[in-house]
């Protein structure tokens, strides 16, 4: 395709919706079809060497961004101030996450000088905020948040259900090709792997080359990408350490990241799951092992209040909170940590709000 023809196609894509408003329904349908046709053609040829050179021009990028979400402003936002504020306001009991995450991601994104993708491995038991934090990260990096076409979510039990050797090899190969293809579309891509503890060992080794210090690989710049690995692996060890500190009379807020790094990294490597004996761990490609601490009653209380506000409940707040807390299960001995964190708080609040018992409070 000649440069002039490519630019003409882009202009027509911009003008077609405007023209179609003055046409009859048949013409409108034809215009819409024309637009989708051009978009299809563009998707088919956009990675050709010549087209990629043309697409790198300022005018071409402007046309692409006018038609759909593109890998540039205003769609890539990098708003660490918003991330810091959201973590401070809405994430409870995770002072380590709130202090570290905006700084680590902000440093990685600043100036485009990163030498490798940022890899953050999040560890903790269920309901302590790992998924919620990954959503906040997506919201801080992309205008469309989790709906951005540059945010890619994998769920261990859903996307990698089989653990036989043939399946693992197929998963690893497909994942390697898929990640590289998406990085060629946007170097700022965010990859979220949830339930890493349920991913068969060996699958994540397929993306090991993209996590190393290459900068570029096969002509694709990979160093700006971010990988979030969410896992229950090591969660029990984190809880045990927190219980020991509590028994010794130490304040929760005085715990530091260094208190957990070794134990979490060891559990990630030795416990069954996606990082079991993984060369990603042995090659030190994980930049941060981020522990999510178990939640106490006071933290669950804040989660209940958040949910009541979200539901716009304005009366009987105190009674509703206490009613929900009575339904939350805590560890059997000290009754200190919530077994499921804040995971099922929304359902418990729904039961209180949606049933007549709330009217009786």
Phi and psi angles of residue 122, each rounded to the nearest 5 degrees, phi first: -100, 130
Q: Which carries the bigger pLDDT value, residue 134 or residue 66?
A: 134
Q: Which carries the bigger pLDDT value, residue 103 or residue 331?
A: 103
pLDDT in tens, 237-261: 999 999 999 999 999 999 999 999 8
What was the pLDDT predicted at 361? Answer: 41
Which region among 48-52, 206-210, 275-279 has the lowest average model confidence (pLDDT)?
A: 48-52
CB-based contacts of 199: which residues, under 8 Å, 6+ apart? Answer: 154, 156, 160, 193, 273, 274
Residue 302 half-sphere exposure, CB side, CA atoms within 13 Å?
Answer: 14
The pLDDT confidence band at residue 55, using thresholds 50, 70 and 90, is: low
User: Where in the chain are the domains?
Assistant: 3-67, 80-291, 297-360
201, pLDDT greater than 60? yes
Which region among 15-24, 186-195, 343-352 has the lowest average model confidence (pLDDT)?
A: 15-24
CB-based contacts of 152: which residues, under 8 Å, 6+ apart? Answer: 179, 182, 189, 190, 191, 192
Mean pLDDT throughout 156-172? 96
106, pLDDT greater than 90? yes
What was the pLDDT predicted at 280? Answer: 92
Distance of alpha carbon 272 from alpha carbon 339, whole angstroms:
21
40, pLDDT greater than 80? no
- By CB atoms closer than 10 A (0-12, 13-18, 19+), residue 333 is exposed
Quickly name the fold that domain 80-291 has: Rossmann fold (3.40.50)
Mean pLDDT throughout 180-184? 94
The pLDDT confidence band at residue 53, using thresholds 50, 70 and 90, is: low
Distance of alpha carbon 75 from alpha carbon 338, whole angstroms:
38
The pLDDT confidence band at residue 113, using thresholds 50, 70 and 90, is: confident
């Amino acid at each position: 395709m000649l440069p002039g023809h490519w630019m003409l196609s882009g202009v027509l894509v911009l003008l077609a919706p405007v023209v179609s408003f003055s046409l009859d329904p048949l013409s409108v349908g034809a215009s819409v079809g024309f637009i989708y046709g051009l978009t299809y053609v563009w998707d088919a040829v956009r990675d050709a060497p010549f087209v990629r050179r043309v697409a790198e021009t300022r005018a071409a990028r402007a046309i692409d961004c006018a038609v759909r979400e593109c890998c540039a402003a205003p769609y890539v936002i990098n708003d660490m101030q918003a991330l810091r504020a959201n973590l401070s306001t809405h994430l409870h009991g995770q002072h380590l996450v709130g202090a570290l995450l905006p700084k680590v991601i902000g440093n990685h994104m600043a100036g485009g000088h990163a030498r490798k993708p940022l890899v953050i491995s999040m560890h903790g038991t269920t309901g302590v905020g790992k998924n919620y934090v990954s959503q906040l990260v997506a919201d801080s990096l992309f205008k469309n948040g989790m709906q951005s076409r540059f945010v890619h979510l994998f769920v261990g039990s859903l996307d990698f259900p089989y653990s036989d050797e043939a399946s693992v090899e197929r998963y690893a190969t497909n994942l390697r090709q898929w990640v590289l293809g998406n990085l060629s579309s946007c170097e700022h891509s965010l990859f979220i792997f949830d339930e890493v503890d349920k991913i068969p060992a060996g699958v994540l080794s397929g993306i090991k080359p993209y996590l190393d210090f290459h900068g570029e690989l096969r002509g694709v710049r990979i160093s700006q990408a971010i990988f979030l690995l969410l896992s229950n692996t090591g969660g029990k060890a984190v809880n045990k350490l927190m219980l020991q500190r509590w028994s010794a009379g130490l304040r929760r807020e005085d715990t530091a990241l260094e208190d957990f790094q070794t134990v979490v990294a060891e559990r990630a490597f030795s416990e069954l799951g996606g990082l079991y004996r993984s060369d990603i761990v042995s090659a030190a490609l994980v930049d941060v092992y981020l522990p999510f601490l178990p939640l106490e009653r006071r933290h669950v209380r804040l989660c209940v209040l958040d949910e009541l506000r979200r539901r716009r409940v304005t009366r009987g707040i105190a009674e509703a909170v206490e009613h929900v807390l009575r339904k939350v299960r805590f560890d059997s001995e000290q009754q200190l940590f919530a077994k499921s964190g804040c995971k099922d708080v929304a359902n418990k609040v729904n039961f209180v709000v949606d049933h007549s018992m709330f009217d009786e409070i």
